[in-house]
Amino acid sequence: MSRTRASHDRHEGLAVTTQAASDEVGKDLETRGSLEIKDRAISRTAIAAALKDPRVTRTTGGLSRLTGRELPRADVTLGEDTIAVNLYIGVRWPSQITEVAASVHASVEEALATMTGLDVHRVNVLVSDTTLDTRLSATSNTEVSQFIPPRPPTAGPAAMPVALLFGFALLATAFLAGREFLIARGHLGGSPWIAEAVSWIARLHWQSWMIAAAIAAVVLGLLLVFVGVKPRTRTHSGLGESASTVWATPTDIARLCSAAAQSTRAVVDAHTVVTRRKIDVRVERDGAVDATSVDAAVRDALASVLSVVSGGRRLTVKHSVTAPTRVS
């Protein structure tokens, strides 16, 4: 009997001790601390989720970092139990912007919900930039755009001298206006030139020389219009096919043709003139060699060069016999 009671007392004491320990643990858990997620961590999570899409570009460093315009960029707003994100991204072109935005929206929303456990109230995806995608993708379903060759080198615009002339004329007009202002204010002596010129024009009457002046004005006006709309002159010729990316001057083309012609046997000297429509090669040959064979050899030597530099020009080869060297 005493044993049973002692055992019961021992169990009762254990139960009391266990209950006391549980109370202490509960109080310890309540006072141990709290969980706080910074805006920066949420922003980085959203950016990392957006960059999983290969169509999203990354712009960082340099001026973008100084101005705070890096992409992707996320602005986070935290509530008590909710998150709202404004996500700014750049998209590679060509890409369907709506598809990219929908994909990024789903990825970012899933990543934020998984990481924080909070309710993602809103994710706004804003496309702030587009970048040409130069990578070749075998899985891309977009059509390959036609290659557009760059513009060939051209001379300065024909209207440049006229623009300079008008610029100096405007500066002279500003000088005269300043002089008239100083004279009117009494800071400078002398007669006003503009007022006298206007008075002289007002007193003019019809005279015979005005016909020549009118004709000259019409001719000058037409000349200025022509100079303004005249396209720039091409200074180089494209090498290779129609989509050229390398150009050479007519002088360079002439030197290449002359060098090729001089490499032919029986050709003593060669001179080439290149115009817009033809390439004229003049060779001096040894008089002992037949002209027909020399002509064929020269054209064969020029074939490889002309395949690159001809540009649709017509080839002409002219022969002359070199003068014999006299030994005195």
pLDDT-derived band at 172, boundaries 50, 70, 90: very high
Chain centroid offset of residue 318 CA: 47
* Among 38-42, 105-109, 183-187, the range of highest mean pLDDT: 105-109
Judge whether residue 272 has pLDDT over 50.
yes
Which range scores top for mean pLDDT: 43-57, 226-240, 305-319? Answer: 43-57
| Tokens standing for residue 62 | 């340099």
pLDDT > 60? residue 11: no
Q: What domains does the chain contain, in order, with CATH numbers?
A: 39-132 (3.30.70.1350), 237-321 (3.30.360.10)
The answer, yes or no, to whether residue 251 has pLDDT greater than 50, is yes
Percent of the chain's residues with pLDDT above 70: 77
SS3 content of the chain, % helix, strand, coil (to 5): 50, 20, 30
Instruction: Cite the beta strand spans of the chain per DSSP E.
Output: 56-57, 73-78, 82-93, 119-132, 237-238, 247-248, 267-274, 278-285, 314-321
Range 218-225 average pLDDT: 90
Q: How many CB atoms lie within 10 A of CB 272?
A: 22
Are 297 and 266 in contact by the 8 Å Cβ rule? The answer is yes
* Residue 253 predicted with pLDDT over 70: yes
pLDDT tens-place string over residues 46-105? 999 999 998 998 887 555 555 557 888 899 988 878 899 999 998 988 888 889 999 999
Q: What is the mean pLDDT of the chain?
A: 79
115-156 pLDDT per residue, tens: 888 888 899 998 888 887 765 444 444 444 455 666 777 788
Q: What is the mean pLDDT of residues 179-193?
A: 86
